[in-house]
Amino acid sequence: MNISNLQAERLKYMPKVPKILKENFSNICVQYGNKTESKSDTEAIKKLFPNTYGLPEIIFKKGKGDDEKNIHNVGVILSGGQAPGGHNVICGLFDALKKADNNNKLYGFLGGPSGILDDKYIILTKDIIDSYRNTGGFDMIQSGRTKLETEEQFDICLKVCKKHDITSIVIIGGDDSNTNAAILAEYFKSKNANISVIGCPKTIDGDLKNDKIETSFGFDTACKTYSELIGNIQRDANSSRKYWHFIRLMGRSASHIALECALQTQPNICLIGEEIFEKNLKLSDIVDYISDIIVKRSEKGLNYGICLVPEGLIEFIPSLNHLIYELNDILSKDGAESTISYVCSNLSDTDKAVFLTLPEEIKKQLLMERDPHGNVQVSLIETEKLLISLISDKLNNLKEQGKYKGKFVPHSHFFGYEGRCAFPSNFDSDYCYSLGYNAFLLIKNGFTGYLSSISNLSDSSDNWICGGTPITMMMNLEQRHGKSKPVIKKALVELDGNVFGFFKENRDKWAINNDYTYPGSIQYFGPDIICNATTKTLELENIHK
């Protein structure tokens, strides 16, 4: 395999890990916390998970550990969209597994959850592992979006595990994947199968988090990758001085990526979906807000600028959110047709009125094939182009009234796949390796239904805290395909938190002035302040801790 000079150097990088992970297993003990409860819908979640609900949080501490020498054959699955650092989770898991006993085996199921259902796997060896250390992508064993959710699928998983004497499964995924991990753990427990299931928190969207899961892996690298591109565009805009750039960023259910990129680059405008929802803003309110900034900048001779748009914006606008909810319900029914005439005949009068005001292209995008959860595919809705169209109309009206004399030349961008498989930053390389190594500690100590948890992440890696977070404590009930199902509750931007507070204090100044910052590319070598810095989000969230 041909490799670049950077890849050759990254293969040599030794991830920095917490002190506790440098200890021999016999010197690591478990500290138990209080029993946990779900985020909401407590009784319903408890009923659905009778064998794994209410587990305590745990922390690994230095002390007398378990000296058992049982053989552990572990299966690992990459589930869902890619996120930088996934390979290092597997590398950390492998190294811990082999440190415990060289006879332990790591089965890499191919193509995501379908790999275990089809019994397609490879035995991961040192040669394979060493060729993927600190690299981006999920190509070591590939990923997939098959959901593990039916009794039949669970039966197959059990048979495959028994066939290969697999004693544990590690699922590396986002909120839905780790929900499936919790359901699979409950199933194995109900069957007395003695097979543990451990999850690892992955998603570049940054919405899989709580007090113990401070960030999901990949968020750091993806935001730094996007911020480099935004900085490049800002430099170009400041050079040509004639274009307005509207940049849509990944993050369907939360605006964490847009907010973090705004903190790193200081654009003129950044929309935060959670704020729009709380203020009950209409689409016309958003158009007015952006147009007002464009007019004010033009009065200073600045007919250019940068506007960041979160991918899920359209679902945060209350009137459109209700419309999408009803569309999802209509199109989930047998015999439903994805046509404008069909949905108009089935929509309520209020939602029909909203639907008919949208441009024809946006109507069609709202009716495209649904995602695996039965919901509209927000990533296919070109919200930035919708805003450009409506803002152009608004500015033309203002020009006719003599209230705007500038020029509006817009360009649209969508940054998504560009950030998902980048070489992981030093932070994500360290964090992911630690997550994988820590996952084996959970397995070795007999835990199941837990997320591998590394906290205190704004401190140096020596002081990171390792442990486990019960997955059920993160759950609530949501509507999926018209049915109420348990899922991990997504963490949204906290409007009363330090991160949004800092942005709110500065955005008016950034709107009118050119306070652009240019992060440049991710650095892997050099001073700590450049190559080992955490995200602005982690820095601000932990400022008073």
- pLDDT per position in the chain (545 positions), as tens? 678 999 999 999 999 999 999 999 999 999 999 999 998 899 999 999 999 999 999 999 999 987 777 889 999 999 999 999 999 999 999 999 999 999 999 999 999 999 999 999 999 999 999 999 999 999 999 999 998 989 999 999 999 999 999 999 999 999 999 999 999 999 999 999 999 999 999 999 999 998 889 999 999 999 999 999 999 999 999 999 999 999 999 988 899 999 999 999 999 999 999 999 999 999 999 999 999 999 999 999 999 999 999 999 998 999 998 998 898 888 888 888 889 999 999 999 999 999 988 888 888 888 887 776 667 777 788 999 999 999 999 999 999 999 999 999 999 999 999 999 999 999 999 999 999 999 999 999 999 999 999 999 999 999 999 999 999 999 999 877 667 889 998 999 999 999 999 999 999 999 999 999 999 999 999 998 899 999 999 999 987 55
325 and 343, same domain (yes or no): yes
> Is residue 165 classed exposed, middle or buried when 0-12, 13-18 and 19+ CB atoms within 10 A define those classes?
exposed
d(CA 225, CA 229): 7
393 and 524, same domain (yes or no): yes
Domain boundaries, position 32: 19-218+424-480
Prediction pTM value: 0.94
Residue 334 is predicted with a pLDDT of 81
Asked if residues 227 and 415 have their Cβ atoms less than 8 Å apart, the reply is no
Residue 162 lies in a domain: yes
Task: Supply the DSSP symbol for 174.
Answer: -
For 88, phi and psi rounded to 5 degrees? -70, -25
The one catalytic residue in 175, 176, 205, 351 is 205
Residue 544 is predicted with a pLDDT of 59
d(CA 316, CA 254): 9
Residue 11 lies in a domain: no
384 and 288, same domain (yes or no): yes
Asked if residues 121 and 140 have their Cβ atoms less than 8 Å apart, the reply is no
Nearest to 217 by CA among 93, 111, 81: 81
Asked if residues 88 and 439 have their Cβ atoms less than 8 Å apart, the reply is no
Q: Is 504 helix (H, G, I), strand (E, B) or coil?
A: helix
Angle, to 10 degrees, between the axis of helix 426-444 and the axis of helix 219-240?
170
126 and 168, same domain (yes or no): yes
Question: Domain holding 159: CATH number?
Answer: 3.40.50.450
Residue 392 lies in a domain: yes
User: Tokens in use for 23?
Assistant: 């200890």
Helix (H) or strand (E) holding 414: strand 410-415
Residue 106 lies in a domain: yes
Residue 13 lies in a domain: no
158 and 190, same domain (yes or no): yes
Residue 14 lies in a domain: no
526 and 411, same domain (yes or no): yes
199 and 60, same domain (yes or no): yes
119 and 52, same domain (yes or no): yes
157 and 279, same domain (yes or no): no
- Taking CA atoms, 216 is separated from 46, 352, 472, in Å, by 25, 38, 17
Helix (H) or strand (E) holding 293: helix 283-299
Question: Domain holding 331: CATH number?
Answer: 3.40.50.460
d(CA 85, CA 133): 9
Split into its structural domains, the chain has a count of 2
Helix (H) or strand (E) holding 153: helix 151-163
188 and 328, same domain (yes or no): no
Within 13 Å and on the Cβ side, how many CA atoms surround 505?
A: 8
Residue 2 lies in a domain: no
Residue 481 is predicted with a pLDDT of 65
Whether 205 is a known active-site residue: answer: yes
Boundary (domain end) residue, out of 437, 454, 480: 480
252 and 149, same domain (yes or no): no
Asked if residues 277 and 316 have their Cβ atoms less than 8 Å apart, the reply is yes
Residue 413 is predicted with a pLDDT of 97
d(CA 25, CA 32): 17
Residue 449 lies in a domain: yes
300 and 175, same domain (yes or no): no
